[in-house]
Structure 1
Amino acid sequence: MSLHFSVLASGSTGNATYVETDNHSFLVDAGFSGKQMEALFQKIDRKPENLDGILVTHEHSDHIKGVGILARKYKLPIYANEKTWKAMDNLIGVIPVDQKFTFDMETVKTFGSLDIESFGVSHDAAEPMFYVFRNGSKKLVVITDTGYVSDRMKGTISNADVFIFESNHDVQMLRMGKYPWSIKRRILSDVGHVSNEDAAIAMSEVIGDATKRIYLAHLSLDNNMKDLARMSVAQTLEARGMGIGHQFDLFDTDPKIPTPLTAV
């Protein structure tokens, strides 16, 4: 059974991930303008009008900026939990009732052979949650925007074939950077974002025999760099006995350029 994905774009300026099987396709978040989203789809030779829906993780603008625009233009279903619906209702414009669907946290929705499981994360939003995609034996996990990775989260996401995993910031860059202390404290908190090192520690506890690819996502524009994130994560994983390059591979994501459409 096929399961393909592309991280259309990821970073502090916006986030969107495309997932498809032979018969269904979904977008996780749409954190860019409608025109930008359409351009990202074009780069992977896909069309947003063919989507079966948009799965919303939480109401922050870098995840929902284009949700309403795409949904209205292409008559797409939107899936989110009730608290997220209430938080984003005034932010995405009027959505027809028949396009609004509730996807409760810690539940599974099935679309043909595709199972999509939602799970809660720790972030300063109404009720933030991310998604696990399963098609046959294949498992894809999307997890960003969390201040830490709990044992409960680890149990849900463990031994995925592919992880799209937050590696938001380098702690030293953040501490020495230009942000006001209030924002630094928020990012470093349990409801902020995981650092490179903390992400790697969490990864080391969920990587399994099935794991072949890890994509480092949601990198801060001001407090991280691709090379630094990859080096920091790799060092921590290797120190914990993880075989990068033969057991699994690390990949970058980009705030503007999609990753190639890839089979899980």
Structure 2
Amino acid sequence: MQFSTIASGSSGNCLYAANDDTHILIDAGISKKRIELGLKSFGTEGSDIDALLVTHEHLDHIQGIGVWSRKYHVPIYGTRGTLEEIWRTKSLGKLDESLFHVIRPGESFKINNLDIHPFSIPHDARDPVSYQIESADSRIGTVTDLGYFDDSIVNELQDCDLLYVEANYDLHMLQAGPYPYQLKRRIAGNYGHLCNEMSGQLIGRLLNERLQKVILGHLSKENNFPELALKAVQNELERDFSVTKETLPVSVAPRDEAMAIITL
């Protein structure tokens, strides 16, 4: 299986996963043009995409859906609450409701020969999910936009070969930054985002013999730096789980460009 990020950050998100026969996107929070450029950078065309999985209805995850779906007419998968909110988002323009496919957290489904497992996450959206994707020989776990994690989320992400995990903010930068108090409280709350240290703790709970690579994503432009997130996560892993950067590769997804594709 292959995985890449086309965009990752608080201003726009789009992920790509594929095997020989199936190509999917997770979220389309950037323009159609940027998605197409990202796909072309690893030899894929927009017409190759078999499905678009949506995590939730916030604009940094859906703002490209309207234009994308009108050109490519790909099935759009999301929870009922997410799809209803997308339908109500006037800025997306006219949408073809026949493309919508309702999924339920905890109920797996197939896109060709890929198994997709959606699971609920704690975030201030209507009915948000993240996704685990599995082929015959590999498993990818993705999780962003969650204010905390618990045993149920850990259980959903067990035994992955690759993890894409949110490291949204540095707590000290958030506290000292220019955001209004209520926004700071929302970000750091139970239905907001994971800070760097919490990201490291979640990754530590998910260590397993199969795990080959960890990618940190959805970093805040205002409240984090890639170097800061990477160091904080590595410190958590080394201190509490005896895992060094030499034994587990951890990297940060680029904000505004496609990451080099990873093949498992």
TM-score by length of 1: 0.96
Cα deviations across residues 61-113 of structure 1 (Å, max 9, x unaligned)?
00001012111101111111101111111223332233111121111112343
Q: Is contact 2:22-2:113 (8 Å) kept?
A: no
Cα deviations across residues 147-186 of structure 1 (Å, max 9, x unaligned)?
0112101001022110000000000000000000010000
1:148 aligns to what? 148
2:115 aligns to what? 115
- SS of residue paired to 2:131: strand
1:80 aligns to what? 78
Q: Is contact 1:145-1:193 (8 Å) kept?
A: yes
1:257 aligns to what? 257
1:17 aligns to what? 15
**Backbone CA RMSD of aligned residues:** 1.2
Shift of 1:246: 4.1
Is there any run of 5+ residues in structure 1 with no aligned partner, and where?
Answer: none
- SS of residue paired to 1:145: coil
Counterpart Cα distance in 2 of 1:11 and 1:251: 14
Counterpart Cα distance in 1 of 2:156 and 2:216: 19
Q: Is contact 1:147-1:194 (8 Å) kept?
A: yes
Shift of 1:127: 0.5
- More displaced, 150-159 or 222-231? 150-159
Pairing 1:212–2:212 present: yes
Match of 2:33, as an amino acid? Answer: K
Identity of aligned residues (%): 30
Counterpart Cα distance in 2 of 1:44 and 1:73: 20
Pairing 1:105–2:105 present: yes
Counterpart Cα distance in 2 of 1:226 and 1:118: 28
Counterpart Cα distance in 2 of 1:253 and 1:164: 9
1:174 aligns to what? 174
Counterpart Cα distance in 1 of 2:31 and 2:244: 36
Q: Is contact 2:146-2:191 (8 Å) kept?
A: yes
Name which of 44, 48, 51 aligns with 1:50.
Answer: 48
Shift of 1:142: 0.9
- SS of residue paired to 2:109: strand
Pairing 1:157–2:169 present: no
Task: State the 4+ residue runs in structure 1 displaced beyond 4 angstroms.
Answer: none
Match of 1:7, as an amino acid? Answer: T
> How many corresponding residue pairs?
262
Q: Is contact 1:244-1:250 (8 Å) kept?
A: no
2:95 aligns to what? 95
Shift of 1:205: 0.8
Q: Is contact 2:173-2:224 (8 Å) kept?
A: yes
Counterpart Cα distance in 1 of 2:247 and 2:145: 26
Pairing 1:6–2:4 present: yes
Q: Is contact 1:204-1:242 (8 Å) kept?
A: no
Give the 5 Å matches for 1:223-234: 223-234=223-234
Shift of 1:21: 1.0
